[in-house]
Structure 1
């Protein structure tokens, strides 16, 4: 729920032993059916310090490695490099210092990262609302399930690579991956985790869209359909042949973006960029600290300005592709029709 600044200050300034104010007791009952009338502030509310950096969201790539080898993967070459724990801890505290409330943990596959439990636990305890983007293959692991049910995520976003064992395993190039995914779905359903499914439609699964929707309906999970394949983060074209031509959808008109202003992305080595696509220039948080994030404002404005072949385009006002995304399509020498109305 959202509260006013005076009410925030009331909570921030009150001694930990103070009883909860009546307005919060009433709101907790109305919003979450929680009875907190007998509790004090210190044991009930985590009051985070205000940040003058102005960021609300961050996506954190724990690794660039995965236990699958999907043909559609946007990573390109997969590497397992990442920071040691002490630097990851420092990084998470910088995210909190910058004001981050919503944190997406992603990869690669975040659940196979050796420090995932520590990262998740500290981020939660620092007061961040966590979304985990995963392939779901480790969700049935008892230690993972215990962590996610003890400190419940804001959302789990799980990718679905096909409805049948044949198409799913063919996409991941890992025998038995479909069976592990179903086990993960069963575990998530039983634990009542807040799951949302991303239905990935490719040439191999284009005939299974209805079945993938039926799978989501069977579990009662909300879903969205992802069908526009992008080049890799390095501008590689290896992911593009998986595109289902019949499911290439027009994008919504790009009307601007707050990348670098209210949200940012951090890679496994602690380099902060405006988003997952516009990775250069970036800020090395391990050398510059949280204050280095101030540079992202100008970086974002520069990267999002129409440039190169898009300068002066007569259709830029109705274009659905931002400039950083257009640039990696160009690097991949992708067909114009996949990202440009002039195609």
Structure 2
């Protein structure tokens, strides 16, 4: 099993290690040297030994390039990152979930296998596996294993409820993700079970996060702040500190990806509304999203124009850039707004808010008097 991945990445060449967010940048001629060593199963070049030992404490002296190095080929497309929605099913029923109705949908293994090869050949090095709850999918272990074998650095977004399962824990320990991001929905059993609408959810989460940390897996917490748990904000951060893990906070409730607004009632009263200025993103150009049925879109939010990736193949990805450029143009109530360069919400998300008939203040940080048109 490979210790390091050597890969082109958006015009650069990286050396990365499964289970670690760190990396090394190498010039093209060094990448080609590593590629030749792997093809010939020769010795790992000496110049790589010291930086790898310094970065990861890994001693490569005396090792051949195979199987220690997995060297990925140069590709014609440069989609360095992707998210793959393994399923839309979930064992929780959180009222704020942007998926809305969570259906148990997904492809047969042969189609999932083809999808992962297509993502690899599109240049995807960093892959996020999400859902729904991806770990309840019966094919999650196979999907995860193949993505790992193809040389992808994997992040799993999960509620953590299945991480105590010995088979799953063994998979993640032997083939380490660079990040496990667990959603935190409360600091007590009462609030956690109430928000997820599942009795026993808190206990399952605690078993999962404790098992993952005991196994030394790279855990981070997404602190989800809603109307139901905002009274426990400080306690949730106290819990994260006691676990000694990094956190990110999510407190802006959004409509579902198809524009229904039932999720907005979960908005916390004391949190939310503060977003940084939207300065653009790489969606559709160097990153993409794929849903459970293999439909590719520029991101998780903008699914108005999707491509059947399995039938259109890599050639179809060339259309995503144009779709992205069109989707990000100011339109509807925002077209002509003189404050658009200060806006904090991307247009695809603003469109979802409009479809949900949400109040202007939920997605526009400007007061009505400030909003002017040319």
TM-score (normalizing by structure 2): 0.90
Equivalent position to 2:113, from 89, 108, 132: 89
**Which residue in the other structure is 1:137 paired with?**
161
Matched, 1:49 2:76: no
Question: Is the aligned partner of 1:99 residue 2:128?
Answer: no
Counterpart residue number, 2:31: 8
Q: Name the CA distance, whole Å, in 1 between partners of 2:274 and 2:43.
A: 54
Count of residue correspondences: 343
CA distance in 2 between partners of 1:242 and 1:94 (Å): 38
- Residues in 2 aligned to 1:280 and 1:101: alpha-carbon distance in whole angstroms: 26
Q: Distance in 2 between matches of 1:254 and 1:307?
A: 15
For residue 298 of structure 1, what is the aligned residue in structure 2?
322
Give the distance between the partners of 1:67 and 1:291, measured in 2 at CA.
Answer: 36
Q: How far did 1:303 drift?
A: 0.3
Whole-Å Cα distance in 2 between the matches of residues 238 and 141 of structure 1? 33
SS in structure 1 of the partner of residue 299 of structure 2: coil
Render the CA deviation track for 1:16-50: whole Å, top value 9, x for unaligned: 32111011111211111111111101221111111
Once the 2 structures are TM-superposed, how far is the Cα of residue 142 of structure 1 from its aligned partner? 0.4
Aligned to 1:20: 44
* Residue segments in structure 1 that go unaligned for 5+ positions in a row: none
- The equivalent of 2:14 in structure 1 is none
- Which residue of the other structure, out of 88, 102, 112, is the alignment partner of 1:78? 102
> Displacement of 1:314 after TM fit?
1.5
Structure 2 residue aligned with 1:35:
59
Aligned twin of 1:265: 289
**Equivalents in 1 of 2:309, 2:140: separation in Å?**
20
Where does 1:180-259 land on structure 2 (aligned, <5 Å)? 180-259=204-283
- SS of the equivalent of 1:132 reads strand
Work out the CA distance in 1 between the residues paired with 2:253 and 2:142. Answer: 32
- Check whether the contact 1:16–1:43 (CA below 8 A) recurs between aligned residues: no
d(CA) in 1 for partners of 2:41 and 2:281? 43
Confirm whether residue 168 of structure 1 aligns to residue 192 of structure 2: yes
**In the alignment, what sits opposite 1:309?**
333
Counterpart-to-counterpart distance in 2, 1:43 and 1:314: 57
Partner of 2:177: 153
Question: Runs of 5+ in structure 2 lacking a partner?
Answer: 1-23, 369-374
CA distance in 1, matches of 2:128, 2:297: 14
Asked whether the equivalents of residues 248 and 338 of structure 1 are also in contact (C-alpha less than 8 Å), the reply is: no
RMSD of equivalent CA atoms:
0.9
| Partner Cα distance (1:85, 1:154) in 2 | 24
DSSP 3-state at the match of 2:40? coil
CA shift for structure 1 position 335:
1.2
3-state SS of 1:24 partner: helix
Q: 4+ runs of 1 displaced by more than 2 Å?
A: 13-17
Shift of 1:81: 1.3
For residue 70 of structure 2, give the secondary structure of its aligned residue in structure 1.
Answer: coil
Give the superposition deviation at 1:7.
0.6
CA distance in 1, matches of 2:90, 2:32: 44
